[in-house]
Amino acid sequence: MYNHKVVEKKWQDYWEKNQTFKTSTDSKKKNYYVLDMFPFPSGKGLHVGHPEGYTATDIVARMKRSQGYNVLHPMGWDAFGLPTEQYALQTGQDPAVVTKENIANFKRQLNKLGFSYDWNRELATCDPKYYKWTQWTFEQMYKNGLAYEAEAPVNWSPDLGTVVANEDIVDGKTERGGYPIYRRNMKQWMLRITKYADRLLAGLDNLDWPENIKEMQRNWIGRSVGAQITFKVKDSTETFDVFSTRPDTLFGATYAVLAPENKLVPKIMTAGHKNEVNAYIKQIESKSDLERTDLNKTKTGVFTGAYAINPVNNEEIPIWIADYVLASYGTGAVMAVPAHDTRDYEFARKFNLPIKAVIKGGDIAQEAYTGEGPHINSDFLNGLNIEDAKKKIVAWLEEHHAGEQKVNYKLRDWEFSRQRYWGEPIPVIHWEDGETTLVPEDELPLVLPHATDIKPSGTPESPLVNLKDWVNVVDKNGRKGKRETNTMPNWAGSSWYFLRFVDPHNDNKLADYELLQKWMPVDLYIGGAEHAVRHLLYARFWNMVLYDLGVVPNEEPFQRLYNQGLILKDHDKMSKSKGNVVNPDDVIDEYGADSLRMYEMFMGPLDASIDWDDNGPASTKKFLDRVWRLFVNDLDLKSIPQENIVDENDGTLDKIYNETVKKVTEDFDDLHFNTAISQLMVFINAAQKAKTIPKEYAEGFITLLAPIAPHMMEEIWQIFGHEESVTFAKWPSYDPAKLVETTVEIMVQVNGKLRGNFKAAKDMAQEEVKKQALSLPHVQKFLSGKEIKKVIVVPNKIVNIVAK
């Protein structure tokens, strides 16, 4: 009987003692870097969703080692961040202590799953040795104008006591905790990711990533080409610009709308409309951008009392404010063309504003017409299609200094300040004379000071302000200064950890350039689709900045990306609050890690979201127990000398074995683990029928199954008499000649009617085929009394007999 508890522990100890998975750096071998999205070590430990992606990368890592690659397969901890801090606060603990405990628990769980990580390279983003380089990169960004301070409208969460990035808002609430957010202006550190917008877009084209993730990134970057057009305010010296992707519809602009936050509003609103305007501004303060731009919501807005002059025809159009125009996009102002824009149409309908068609087509009595058509009511644009009209109006605007072609992005600069304790200190000092300086590079890391009171202050200041000894500094000339008290978001540390794994103990550099050249870019990166935008965009940006600094050799960090699906419980996401979490510890106890790994890979395609089946691990355990009985009890392979093996299967086992090697190898490369497992099962069925099987096949099979069920395969490998770990077993190869069908079924027709069939060796001689066809009793019946005129043989398929 196979005892998973004993055997799994035995091999986990063996691997650790022998450093089996230490990254080899043999210069004669090719390198392969396979990476998991490192986890946030929460207090909840792993649930069965985690091992899905981790098992997938582990299988690939183990196969690549067997195939003779140097494999880099590291693991670490995304260890700063809000949830730990919240938890520490609620339980009165130190987040550093909580984090350490959580990491220990995660690591224990990962090891119980038998993952082949090189723990020599373990890292945690909250380790000063690590964040020294996070801070160093921030300083390089600052020196290159990529990090700056700005008063910006930000998403303030009073419940979390911090600002959250646009990317961290889901359905208008904070992703963590689902708290409401409020827009307010605040001085923030920002990273100029917008400078990289075009490169972040262009780079996507050459990456082997799921198309939907690329599309989400493209949409998030949101490049649109249009024009910026200047409108004068009537009876005033003020002007404002609008951004429009449809400057060709300028003759159809019947009103203009400013974002309520637009600085022009207080300057141009007339006395009669002041109260109404201010009341409206107050009312929309707490709405998120997402709520404001929701297409389904009824439009709201108020008239400012002011008018603008349309530059193309000098028409006076009313200026409104409305929340569907965002302060943070384009210029925070639009020219409204209700005839051809859906949102403007609804707004115009609601407030009885004129609707003027400038494109022929549709029925604007019913809805906005957004399609193609010749221009009408548009003077010199009449008759032109959209593309030509755009060119013409842009030329006209440029000529009349009333506007210009303009490219706009939805992407905003990255809000980089968090008003919280548990993060990397931003290495900056604000001096009393107004100067801002960086902490000198040789003083990095700027260590996060120990604090006992980490409650958010409720103001834009972080709890670090209370640590007066740390905050207050004096330079050698007696000038007084204060340290920046905001910390970095936890996206900072996770934006470059893949680089540090390459050279994790380097105290002089972020990582050695030559080593980076050897390992980067990551060959395969697997993680959850929830990181589609944020982490992957930030990491690409961070890497590009380092590339421009000459610190890293590749512009793109992740060549191939794959997202695993979710493991659901009764069609629902597993979560502690729903009480439907399956703990891998329990499953491993009962069925073993190998069974759990195999079940998670057998559930379905890796990218599908599938319901957890409590009976699943039991069924894969049953299969593994069969493998054990077959190789350890039934087939005494060790005692059979190789040359005495007779294949008693007429070549069937030969063919199935070679097919199995081919399919499993290709499926592992394609991450199609469920079909690979099916094929392994086909082999076991065939092997069970055989009286004996060649040792080569037995060992090949064990090597193929080892990446999925490493503990049991190590044990069998040892029983087979090997002294080295199965990790280093040579990956089996297959003989393409053996894949070919050896027998074929041949149909026999007499005068065009099917009268019989028989099995024959493939490519049998034509004369022999004819002979066998003619000798079939059923065929002879139809030939009796007739003369055979002709026999046509279609090789390996049909024998056609013409008789009269």
- Whose Cβ is closer to ligand ANZ: residue 246's or residue 500's? 246
Per DSSP, the three-state class of 559 is coil
- Figure out which of the listed residues 83, 95, 311, 330 binds ligand ANZ, where binding follows CB under 6 A: 330
- Whose Cβ is closer to ligand ANZ: residue 354's or residue 651's? 354
Tell which positions 728-757 bind ligand ANZ, by CB under 6 A.
Answer: none
Q: Which stretch binds ligand ANZ (CB under 6 A): 29-37, 324-332, 664-672, 795-803?
A: 324-332
Q: How far is the CB of 262 from ligand ANZ (least distance, A)?
A: 9
Question: Is 576 annotated among the ligand-binding residues?
Answer: yes
- Whose Cβ is closer to ligand ANZ: residue 35's or residue 353's? 353
Q: Which amino acid is at 724?
A: E
Q: How far is the CB of 324 from ligand ANZ (least distance, A)?
A: 6
Q: How far is the CB of 157 from ligand ANZ (least distance, A)?
A: 23
Q: Which of 9, 95, 120, 54 is nearest to 503 (CA)?
A: 120
Per DSSP, the three-state class of 775 is helix
Could you tell me if 676 and 667 are in contact, meaning their C-beta atoms sit under 8 angstroms apart? yes
Q: How far is the CB of 332 from ligand ANZ (least distance, A)?
A: 5
- Whose Cβ is closer to ligand ANZ: residue 193's or residue 335's? 335
- Figure out which of the listed residues 24, 111, 239, 245 binds ligand ANZ, where binding follows CB under 6 A: 245
By CB under 6 A, is residue 326 in contact with ligand ANZ? yes
Q: Which stretch binds ligand ANZ (CB under 6 A): 156-164, 188-196, 328-336, 447-455?
A: 328-336
By CB under 6 A, is residue 683 in contact with ligand ANZ? no
CA distance 117 to 119: 6
- Whose Cβ is closer to ligand ANZ: residue 266's or residue 371's? 371
The residue with its CB nearest to ligand ANZ is 244
Tell which positions 759-798 bind ligand ANZ, by CB under 6 A.
Answer: none
- Whose Cβ is closer to ligand ANZ: residue 301's or residue 565's? 301
- Figure out which of the listed residues 255, 329, 345, 782 binds ligand ANZ, where binding follows CB under 6 A: 329
Looking at residue 375, the DSSP 8-state letter turns out to be: B
Tell which positions 119-148 bind ligand ANZ, by CB under 6 A.
Answer: none
Binding marks (x or -) toward ligand ANZ, 403..442, rule CB under 6 A? -----x----------------------------------
- Whose Cβ is closer to ligand ANZ: residue 377's or residue 619's? 377
Q: Which stretch binds ligand ANZ (CB under 6 A): 296-304, 322-330, 611-619, 733-741?
A: 322-330
Q: How far is the CB of 330 from ligand ANZ (least distance, A)?
A: 3
- Whose Cβ is closer to ligand ANZ: residue 146's or residue 335's? 335
> Mapped to the 3 state alphabet, what secondary structure does 411-469 carry?
CCCEECCECCCCCCECCEEEECCCCEEECCHHHCCCCCCCCCCCCCCCCCCCHHHHCHH
- Figure out which of the listed residues 47, 50, 183, 246 binds ligand ANZ, where binding follows CB under 6 A: 246
By CB under 6 A, is residue 260 in contact with ligand ANZ? no
Could you tell me if 256 and 347 are in contact, meaning their C-beta atoms sit under 8 angstroms apart? no
CA distance 419 to 136: 21
CA distance 463 to 471: 11
Residues in the interface with ligand ANZ (CB under 6 A) total 18
> Mapped to the 3 state alphabet, what secondary structure does 337-366 carry?
CCCCCHHHHHHHHHHCCCCCCCECCCCCCC
- Figure out which of the listed residues 124, 325, 686, 726 binds ligand ANZ, where binding follows CB under 6 A: 325
Give the Cβ contact number of residue 250 at 10 Å. 27
Q: How far is the CB of 238 from ligand ANZ (least distance, A)?
A: 18
By CB under 6 A, is residue 254 in contact with ligand ANZ? no
Binding marks (x or -) toward ligand ANZ, 225..244, rule CB under 6 A? ------------------xx
CA distance 320 to 259: 9
By CB under 6 A, is residue 249 in contact with ligand ANZ? yes
Q: How far is CA 416 from CA 125, 136, 214, 398, 441, in A?
A: 16, 15, 24, 37, 20
CA distance 47 to 146: 39
DSSP characters for 486-534?
-B--TTTGGGSHHHHTTSTT-SSSSS-HHHHHHHPSBSEEEEEGGGTTH
Could you tell me if 339 and 368 are in contact, meaning their C-beta atoms sit under 8 angstroms apart? yes
Q: How far is the CB of 728 from ligand ANZ (least distance, A)?
A: 55
CA distance 539 to 804: 79
Phi, psi of 569 (to 5 degrees): -130, 115
Give the Cβ contact number of residue 475 at 10 Å. 11
Whether the CA torsion 653, 655, 658, 663 is positive or negative: it is negative
303: β partners: 320
CA distance 95 to 694: 58
Tell which positions 205-224 bind ligand ANZ, by CB under 6 A.
Answer: 224
Binding marks (x or -) toward ligand ANZ, 7..46, rule CB under 6 A? ----------------------------------------
Place of tokens 């600069």: 413
Q: Which stretch binds ligand ANZ (CB under 6 A): 37-45, 332-340, 526-534, 776-784?
A: 332-340
Phi, psi of 93 (to 5 degrees): -110, 175
Give the Cβ contact number of residue 259 at 10 Å. 26
Give the Cβ contact number of residue 413 at 10 Å. 18
Could you tell me if 55 and 599 are in contact, meaning their C-beta atoms sit under 8 angstroms apart? no
Could you tell me if 791 and 801 are in contact, meaning their C-beta atoms sit under 8 angstroms apart? yes
DSSP characters for 155-197?
EEETTTTEEE-GGGEETTEETTTT-B-EEEEEEEEEE-GGGGH
DSSP characters for 200-234?
HHHHHTTSB--HHHHHHHHHHH-EEEEEEEEEEET
Binding marks (x or -) toward ligand ANZ, 334..353, rule CB under 6 A? xx-x--xx------------
- Whose Cβ is closer to ligand ANZ: residue 61's or residue 259's? 259
- Whose Cβ is closer to ligand ANZ: residue 329's or residue 519's? 329
By CB under 6 A, is residue 323 in contact with ligand ANZ? no
Q: How far is the CB of 400 from ligand ANZ (least distance, A)?
A: 18
E-strand stretches of 261-350: 301-309, 316-322, 333-336
Q: Which stretch binds ligand ANZ (CB under 6 A): 32-40, 203-211, 329-337, 502-510?
A: 329-337
By CB under 6 A, is residue 102 in contact with ligand ANZ? no
By CB under 6 A, is residue 533 in contact with ligand ANZ? no
Q: How far is the CB of 62 from ligand ANZ (least distance, A)?
A: 47
Tell which positions 59-78 bind ligand ANZ, by CB under 6 A.
Answer: none
Q: How far is the CB of 247 from ligand ANZ (least distance, A)?
A: 8
Q: How far is the CB of 329 from ligand ANZ (least distance, A)?
A: 4
474: β partners: 480
Contacts to ligand ANZ by CB under 6 A: 224, 243-246, 249, 259, 325-326, 329-330, 332, 334-335, 337, 340-341, 408
- Annotated binding residues for ATP, written as ranges, equal 576
- Annotated binding residues, written as ranges, equal 576
